[in-house]
Structure 1
Amino acid sequence: MRFTITRENLQQGLGAVAGSIPTRTTLPVLSNILIEAEDGAVRLSGTDLDTAVTVRVPAEVAEPGAITAPAKKLQEIARELPGATEITTQGDAILISSGRSRFKLNGLPKDEFPAFPKVDFGGSWRVTGADLQRLITHVSFAASTEETRPILNGVLWQLHDHDMRMVATNGHRLAKMTLPVEAGGDAAAAELIVHPRALQQVQRLFAGDASVEVAKSENHLGFRSTEVQVYTRLIEGPYPNFEQVIPKDNDKNMVADKAALQGAVRRMAIVASDQTHRIRMSLGGPMLKFSVESPDLGAANEELPVEYDGDPLEIGFNAQYLLELLRYMPTDEVKMTFKAPERAATMQPLGNEDTPDYLCLVMPLRLLS
């Protein structure tokens, strides 16, 4: 194998694949990047056995070939190279030449690198990179990070003829967004459960203007554009019926300025308990009243002008969950709905007709007095 590549293209390709390389592994080859030189381009690949990434970068290829090389050291070398680089192989070693610099890294043969999942893109969905980024950004944060219910570690992705929806929850808060799909593919409707780590790779690697093909095999999902491919193992099992936990009868409505609400919650969170992060919200009339009492630390309170329609209500929330939901609201005003102190509240963006179909839910905390 022998090819010449610009420093920028090499750094770009290695950086794209680096996120799929595990930091610790018992299989040495998983610490390596697979380098495949072909006609007019080099393909760089990495995997942690759950998610695999391949990117194609331009290069002048004199001799096709393939080898795997240590990802971390290769990336460190690429950052320091003075300019265009020639890369060749010598047995199971890779030789790197740039300017007056010469490196030799011990590699492993391509045969030891795990094969990528076989996904047939003959029946696929077509989505834009921008839509994928929007869904992933606004939903994946709500997935659980605890291992007690593995199914909640995933994001539910529903694909239909005219729209697609992502849902994530940890049982205490939930995020749901639906977007219309203008350019569908020829695949049937599907419900997929995808790990957020894989979706973060998709979000990072596919540009907003990219046309992305999405296809599934029995237990894997594949994403591809002209230059990038991402494959991930699907999470198996039925996702909980999220529709039944979204309240339909909340009859108390509050509209607030998002930035002002964020600021007030953030200030109350300073004094809230480190264990529960509990804050009290008292609703009734044109002022929302916050209060916090922490026996070990002290107390705090604040008032915020809002529009409120409904009977008086006192309700407790985890301040960190409220801040998470507010962080991802895409409009300057938000609407919250309530029913009772022990019932779930909802939060939605308030804006014009371009505002996405986006809803978040947060479970209350019991007030002690």
Structure 2
Amino acid sequence: MHFIISRQNLHQGLSAVSASIPSKTTLPVLSNVLFHAGENGVSMSGTDLDVAVRVHVPAEVETPGTLTAPGKKLQEIVRELPDAPVRIQTRGDQIELRCGRSLFKLHGLPADDFPALPAIDFESGWTADGSQLLRLIRHTSFAVSTEETRPVLNGVLWELRDGEMRMVATNGHRLARMRIPAGPSIQTTTQLIVPPAALQQVQKLFGGDDEIQVARSGNHLGFRTGGVEVYTRLIEGTYPNYEQVIPKDNDRIAIVDRRPLESAVKRVAAVASDQTHRIRLEFASDRMVFNVLTPDLGEAHDELEVSYDADPLTIGFNANYLLEVLRYMPTDEVRLSFKAPERAATVEPVRKEGEAEGEEYLCLVMPLRLLD
């Protein structure tokens, strides 16, 4: 293998695939980047066996070929190279990199040792608007469970149905759901449980102006645009019926300015228990009262003016879950809805007329029992 590539293209490719290279692995080849030089340039691939990234970049190929080489070390080297053409060639299982007066020789591994990436026919898939897809990911993936007791909750549910795209994520204590009208190019009806690590790669590598091709083959899903491809293994199983837990009869409504609410929660949470992060909220006649009592630390009290005219309510929450939800609310005002102290509360954006038409965003937070 022998090719000449600009330092910028080489650095761009290595940066894209490096996040899919595991920091620790028992398989040495997974620490490597697979180079494939052919008629149309050079591709670089990296994988941790769950998520894979392949990037195609222009290069002047003199001799086609393949080899794997240490990904992180190559990235460190290329980051510090001058902005000049880089000549890369292989001698056996060794890769040689020249740039100006710099010369590096690294030991590689045969390309045959590298895991094969999924074979996915993108022509049989669908096209997603980049801005919509990235918005769905950003506003839901934070709610994914990190506990391994229920694997399906370790992924984001992605549904295409009824002319819309929706994503849902939950850990059983808080839930995020976003629905966006699907474009005319999406005629598919499907339900996928996607690992958040793959969606993070999509966020990192694709832009809002991209038209992203998406396709499924068996238990794998692929994303592609331009010269970048992301592949992931899907999570198997049946996602729980999340619609059942979203309350339909919450009739106690508070309209609150999001930023002052965030600040107040952060202030009183500083005194909350490190184990439960429990805070007490009281709603009555356009007033929201925050109280925290932690026996071995102290107590906190704060108040906000809000729009609230329902019966008085006292309810407890994990401050961290409440802050997470508020952080991803896209509006200056939020709508909090409640039924009873032991029932789930919802948080929704208060939109101005004509803003984000057709988009629906809802988060749910389960309450904590208060110790009177």
Q: What's the TM-score once normalised by structure 2's chain length?
A: 0.97
The aligned amino acid for 1:201 is Q
The answer on whether the counterparts of 2:2 and 2:88 sit within 8 Å (CA) in structure 1 is: yes
Q: CA deviation at 1:120?
A: 2.4
Q: Counterparts of 1:309 and 1:185 in 2: how far apart (Å)?
A: 43
Q: Which residue of 2 aligns with 1:150?
A: 151
Q: CA deviation at 1:151?
A: 1.1
Q: Counterparts of 2:180 and 2:62 in 1: how far apart (Å)?
A: 46
The aligned amino acid for 2:168 is V
Deviations 1:98-141 (A, max 9, x none): 01010101101111111111222232111022111101100000
The answer on whether the counterparts of 2:129 and 2:183 sit within 8 Å (CA) in structure 1 is: no
Q: Which residue of 1 aligns with 2:325?
A: 325
Please give the secondary structure, in 2, of the residue aligned with 1:268. Answer: helix
Q: CA deviation at 1:367?
A: 0.6
Q: Which residue of 1 aligns with 2:300?
A: 300
Stretches (4+) displaced over 3 A: none
Q: CA deviation at 1:217?
A: 1.4
* 1:362 is aligned to 2:372: no
Q: Which residue of 1 aligns with 2:97?
A: 96
The aligned amino acid for 1:92 is D
- Worse-superposed segment, 12-21 or 35-44: 35-44
- Worse-superposed segment, 127-136 or 298-307: 127-136
Q: Which residue of 2 aligns with 1:164?
A: 165
Q: Which residue of 1 aligns with 2:111?
A: 110
The aligned amino acid for 2:28 is P
Aligned length: 368
Please give the secondary structure, in 1, of the residue aligned with 2:349. Answer: strand
Q: Counterparts of 2:162 and 2:228 in 1: how far apart (Å)?
A: 25
The answer on whether the counterparts of 2:68 and 2:111 sit within 8 Å (CA) in structure 1 is: yes
Q: Counterparts of 2:362 and 2:232 in 1: how far apart (Å)?
A: 27
Q: What's the TM-score once normalised by structure 1's chain length?
A: 0.98
Q: Which residue of 1 aligns with 2:175?
A: 174
Q: Which residue of 1 aligns with 2:85?
A: 84
Q: Counterparts of 1:312 and 1:226 in 2: how far apart (Å)?
A: 56
The aligned amino acid for 1:76 is E
Q: Counterparts of 2:133 and 2:45 in 1: how far apart (Å)?
A: 22
Q: CA deviation at 1:142?
A: 0.1
Q: Counterparts of 1:206 and 1:153 in 2: how far apart (Å)?
A: 23
Q: Counterparts of 1:40 and 1:249 in 2: how far apart (Å)?
A: 59
Q: Which residue of 2 aligns with 1:27?
A: 27
The answer on whether the counterparts of 1:123 and 1:185 sit within 8 Å (CA) in structure 2 is: no
Q: CA deviation at 1:39?
A: 2.4
Please give the secondary structure, in 2, of the residue aligned with 1:26. Answer: coil
Map 1:334-345 → 2, pairs under 5 A: 334-345=334-345
Q: Counterparts of 2:278 and 2:251 in 1: how far apart (Å)?
A: 23
Deviations 1:327-364 (A, max 9, x none): 00001100000000000000001112323310000000
The aligned amino acid for 1:367 is L
Q: Percent identity?
A: 62
The answer on whether the counterparts of 1:156 and 1:191 sit within 8 Å (CA) in structure 2 is: yes
Please give the secondary structure, in 1, of the residue aligned with 2:122. Answer: coil
The aligned amino acid for 2:362 is L
Q: Which residue of 2 aligns with 1:69?
A: 69
Please give the secondary structure, in 1, of the residue aligned with 2:124. Answer: coil
The answer on whether the counterparts of 1:161 and 1:184 sit within 8 Å (CA) in structure 2 is: no
Call closer, same or farther: CA 1:110–1:161 in 2, change over 3 Å: farther
The aligned amino acid for 1:5 is I
The aligned amino acid for 2:148 is E
Q: CA deviation at 1:183?
A: 3.8
* 1:212 is aligned to 2:208: no
Q: Which residue of 2 aligns with 1:135?
A: 136
Please give the secondary structure, in 2, of the residue aligned with 1:309. Answer: coil
Q: CA deviation at 1:232?
A: 0.5
Map 1:269-308 → 2, pairs under 5 A: 269-308=269-308
